[in-house]
Amino acid sequence: MRLHEYQSKQRLAEFGVPVPHGEIAHTPKEAFYIANRQGGHVFIKAQVLAGERARSEGIKQAHTPEEAEYYTSVMLKNNIQGLPIHKVLVETTVNIAEELYIAIVNDRSSGQPVLVATATGGMHVEESAFADPDQVIKAYINPIIGLRSYQVMRIASELNLPRDLWRKFDTLVQAIYRCYVQSDATLVEINPLAITKTQQFMALDAKLIIDDNALFRHADLAAMRDTSTEDETMIRARNAKLSYIRLDGNIGCLVNGAGLAMATMDAIHFYGGKPANFLDIGGGAIAEKIQTATEIILSEPSVAVLLVNIFGGMTRCDEVAQGIITAYRNLKSAVPLIVRLQGTKSNEACEMLNQANLLRICTMNTLSQAVIQAIHEVQNVDFSS
């Protein structure tokens, strides 16, 4: 789960990381008053879970409360990467001497957290990192021992930080690491990390991603979830513990297992079709969950056909069939249904589906057949519309 900038900063500040003074505004008027209290010179920053806000007019510098009000009013009508902006962070401007980049992220291949830093932060950090990999400084962290100060001092040295800032840098980075561990974060990123003209470190922008598997023990973080930009379908999917991602095609997919779900999308592409979604019902799903999943897909206006690809191991095909049938009956849906079921109780399932009197249903033995049939159905729909 990703946190907003203002939430990330709040969390980091709890561990002792210095951040600029800032307040959240939901209206232009609020922004005016906050800016006024801060002397007029503020940044207005759209709080939206998308990257590259600066390139999308999501960050503006105001020099008067009126400007703050104006930029806020423009922003709140805007959206970034399709996400509406419901609030902005009104933040005091800081006198910057230098900008660094620093992050802690889980490294899959070593199975360790890794500290990453570059001497030049800002929005071009990735490009310059790719252009000159040598300037990217890394320290792998023993997950049992934790981050050692000597590792941080070494990074301070490689970043060419002024020597009298090294201990302060260690204190800062240790605070970031504590925040990372105690928040069960998979990423903590501060970009830019400023050194102010008074030789203080300050996190000008921050991003935290929390491990979804660990949210059960972080009620405070779980409560930070911003559902204001999620529609009902997304919330329904999450509540049902369905992994659901909308895509821009028209073939709805209902599959068990993330790997098989991706492989099914790949097969649709392979035969020239376009999936409307990724949906993994997980292992051992029962009829109710399948019903919810089916209803979610059928409720999407873009879906012209539903392709079901289930290989029953822990998942029982009869439960899948039952869920699908109930959903179709509930919604009285006429969306064509292409079913490919294999494994546990697949014969029973096919029998159930055949006897369910759904409007247009087709059961197939192989995924290839099912995909070709689905694409065929879509083309029919396209012609008739």
What is the set of active-site residues? 101, 189
146 sits in the region (left: phi over 0; alpha: psi -120 to 50; else beta) called left
Which residues make Cβ contacts (< 8 Å) with residue 212, sequence separation at least 6?
Answer: 1
Among 39, 84, 143, 272, binds another protein (CB under 8 A): 143
- Nearer to another protein among residue 153 and residue 352 (C-beta): 153
Long-range contacts of 103-111 (CB under 8 A, 24+ apart): 103/187, 103/188, 103/189, 103/190, 103/191, 104/141, 104/176, 104/177, 104/180, 104/185, 104/187, 104/188, 105/186, 105/187, 105/188, 105/189, 106/186, 106/187, 107/140, 110/140, 111/143
Task: Identify any residues that bridge with 100 across adjacent strands, giving them in sequence order.
Answer: 193
* Rounded CA Rg of the chain: 26
Q: Rule CB under 8 A: which of 277-306 touch another protein?
A: 278, 283-284
- Nearer to another protein among residue 92 and residue 342 (C-beta): 342
Q: Does residue 354 touch another protein according to CB under 8 A?
A: no
Q: Does residue 108 touch another protein according to CB under 8 A?
A: yes
- Tell me the closest approach of the beta carbon of residue 82 to another protein, in angstroms: 13
Q: Does residue 112 touch another protein according to CB under 8 A?
A: yes
- Nearer to another protein among residue 61 and residue 366 (C-beta): 366
Q: Which of 295, 223, 207 is nearest to 252 (CA)?
A: 295
Number of H helices, E strands in the chain: 13, 18
Among 22, 65, 312, 336, binds another protein (CB under 8 A): 312
Q: Is 99 exposed, middle or buried (0-12, 13-18, 19+ CB in 10 A)?
A: middle
By three-state DSSP, how is residue 147 classified? coil
Among 29, 270, 288, 359, binds another protein (CB under 8 A): 270
| Residues 370, 328: Cα–Cα separation, whole Å | 19
Binding flags for another protein, 198-227, as an x/- string (CB under 8 A)? ---------x-x-x-xx-xx----------
- Tell me the closest approach of the beta carbon of residue 72 to another protein, in angstroms: 26
- Tell me the closest approach of the beta carbon of residue 65 to another protein, in angstroms: 33
Q: Does residue 272 touch another protein according to CB under 8 A?
A: no
- Tell me the closest approach of the beta carbon of residue 348 to another protein, in angstroms: 14
- Nearer to another protein among residue 101 and residue 328 (C-beta): 101
- Tell me the closest approach of the beta carbon of residue 371 to another protein, in angstroms: 9
Query: Rounded to 5 degrees, what are φ and ψ at 341?
Result: -120, 135
- Tell me the closest approach of the beta carbon of residue 317 to another protein, in angstroms: 12
Question: Do residues 28 and 90 touch, judged by C-beta distance below 8 A?
Answer: no
Among 96, 235, 314, 359, binds another protein (CB under 8 A): 314
Q: Rule CB under 8 A: which of 3-32 touch another protein?
A: none
Q: Does residue 164 touch another protein according to CB under 8 A?
A: yes
C-alpha 126 chain-centroid distance = 19
Q: Does residue 103 touch another protein according to CB under 8 A?
A: yes
Q: Which of 242, 292, 286, 250 is nearest to 268 (CA)?
A: 250
- Nearer to another protein among residue 296 and residue 310 (C-beta): 310
Q: Rule CB under 8 A: which of 114-133 touch another protein?
A: 114, 116, 125-126, 129-130, 133
Q: Does residue 195 touch another protein according to CB under 8 A?
A: no
Q: Does residue 351 touch another protein according to CB under 8 A?
A: no
The DSSP bridge pattern shows strands 42-46 and 337-343 to be unpaired
Question: Do residues 196 and 21 touch, judged by C-beta distance below 8 A?
Answer: no
Q: Rule CB under 8 A: which of 49-78 touch another protein?
A: 51
- Tell me the closest approach of the beta carbon of residue 345 to another protein, in angstroms: 11
- Nearer to another protein among residue 130 and residue 383 (C-beta): 130
**Token pair 């620093």: residue:** 102
